[in-house]
Amino acid sequence: MPFDLDLQSIQEMRDALQKAKEAQQKYLAFSQEKVDEIVKRAAEAAAAKSLELAQMAVEETGMGVVEHKKMKNDVGSLAVYESIKNEKTVGIINEDRKKRIVEVASPFGVIAGIIPTTNPTSSAIFKALIALKTRNGIVFSPHPRAVKCSVAALKICLEAAVEAGAPDGIIGWISKPTMAATTELMRHRDIDLILATGGKDLVRAAYSSGKPAYGVGPGNVPVYIEKTANIQKAVKMIVQSKTFDNGTICATEQAIVVDKNVKEMAVREFKKNGAYFLNKQEKSLLEKVISPLPGHLNPAIVGQSAVKIGELAGISVPVDTTILIAEETRIGKDVPFSIEKLSPIFPIYTAESYESAKELCVKILNLGGMGHSLSLHTDDDKVAREFALEMPVSRLMVNTLSSIGAVGATTELMPSLTLGCGSFGGNITSDNLTARHLINIKRMAYGTKEVDVPKPSSKSPAPQWIASNQVDEIVNQVLNNVNGAGQLDSQVISELVNQVLKKYQMN
């Protein structure tokens, strides 16, 4: 009788984990030079298949745009490699000769890697490379709806790594993933760290597993068009960013906040860039498609084009429509346009003042993007710096595409497909995760300061309490000293007790 899918998946996970653990023990002996060669070969192999993997991802998931997924694969492979290739991750990685402190890199061990359906190949490549760079083993649980393309990407990385000399099994995966197997993987005794990218329930499960975990939260990203912005450039960037891979990057703009002084101009530019503004009836139809249940996003719209989403809602839009926009004033779980949509749909909010704009941005972030990212278009650097100081986000992209700017494509931020949200979003880090987050740093410190430790004073304070057996002993000593002395003199007894107590104080 065949095993059910959960049992097959769990057994496959255990086998992959055992192989990864054995391989990681061998990998510990590798030099920095050998590790770097392995990472390079794996990155180059993945980049060579970037387009093919992008095509597989779109075909399997039905989400996104092939050309854009290829760009994400290039970021996850070559851009990530370039950013980590010179980092020391083996042996002594830093030495301060003046302070006489030596820092030594030590891998975590075996990592559990969770891959989302929105970035199924780029995230797989990225996590495999940073694990290889740090001498960690890694076992992946792909999303069930993207398992073929994710496994294809991992096989490319593993085969290239093994060909370059890495131990076989250093990268592993579950080819028949189930929630039961994923949960057991995260809780398994041989897992030392979790890299979780996915829905909030999965990330919450990672944090509750009892293991150290890097989990990233949702990104309900506001974009503020401030009155001094170059409106033409700002709108073009926003549309390009929102349509990039049909909005599947978590750092993509989700809600437009525009100063009332420049709103008319902004609306005109959005229309020039293919935006379709919904009337009240159309907005009502689309709301039901965005969120059939309050606070819950309809997965059928994720990564789809504006035209296709319009069809799902029964709305006829021009074939060259890039994004769908509706006027909005409210923010809440029961307001479909205000939640994270992961698709080319925007609410547009009018800010009556600069302070009002800041309040709107914070409310949007509070709905599901706290700690993630915020996009700002302004020519006033004072405004940018005020936002940086006041907004509860880990990344603030100024005058660029938020979606790919956050992952390092149009900014100098560290290239990464896993973006920390800091304590604002319940994460342990606010960084763009990379290789340095996957090593422990041991520190050897030499003595540099001479210290004379003072001896205890001979006049120590009297003890605050005396154990009952000590009291009995004192009484016995007193009685022995006065044995046969006839009537006891209280002054004599008091003196004798004090003498005995002094002996205990000295001991």
Q: Is-catalytic flag, 250?
A: yes
- Please name the residues in contact with 205: beta carbons below 8 A apart, sequence gap of 6 or more: 183, 186, 196
Contact between residue 364 and residue 392 where contact means Cβ atoms under 8 Å apart:
no
pTM exceeds cut of 0.95: no
Asked whether the beta carbons of 195 and 127 are under 8 A apart, the reply is: yes
- How far is residue 324's CA from residue 121's CA, in Å, rounded to a whole number? 28
**In the chain, % of residues over pLDDT 90:** 83
- Report whether pLDDT(481) > 80: no
pLDDT band for position 197 (50/70/90)?
Answer: confident
- Find the catalytic residue in 149, 157, 250, 421: 250
Residue 171 has a pLDDT of 98
Do the strands 91-96 and 101-107 form a parallel or antiparallel pair, or are they unpaired? antiparallel
pLDDT the model gives residue 203 = 80
Q: Which residue has the higher pLDDT, 501 or 421?
A: 421
As a whole-number percent, the residues of the chain with pLDDT over 70 amount to 90
Interval 79-97: pLDDT, tens: 999 999 999 999 999 999 9
| pLDDT at position 464 over 60 | no
Give the model confidence (pLDDT) of 235-279 as tens digits.
Answer: 999 999 999 999 999 999 999 999 999 999 999 999 999 999 999
Q: Sign of torsion, CA 29 33 34 37?
A: positive
66 by Cβ neighbours in 10 Å (0-12 / 13-18 / 19+) ranks as middle
Q: What is the mean pLDDT of residues 33-55?
A: 98
Spell out the SS3 assignment of 163-179: HCCCCCCCEEECCCCCH
- Tell me, what's the pLDDT at 489? 60
Closest to 395 in 3D by CA, of 377, 379, 374: 374
Helix (H) or strand (E) holding 222: strand 221-225
- Is 8 a residue whose pLDDT tops 90? yes
Q: What is the pLDDT of residues 90-126, one digit of tens each?
A: 999 999 999 999 999 999 999 999 999 999 999 999 9
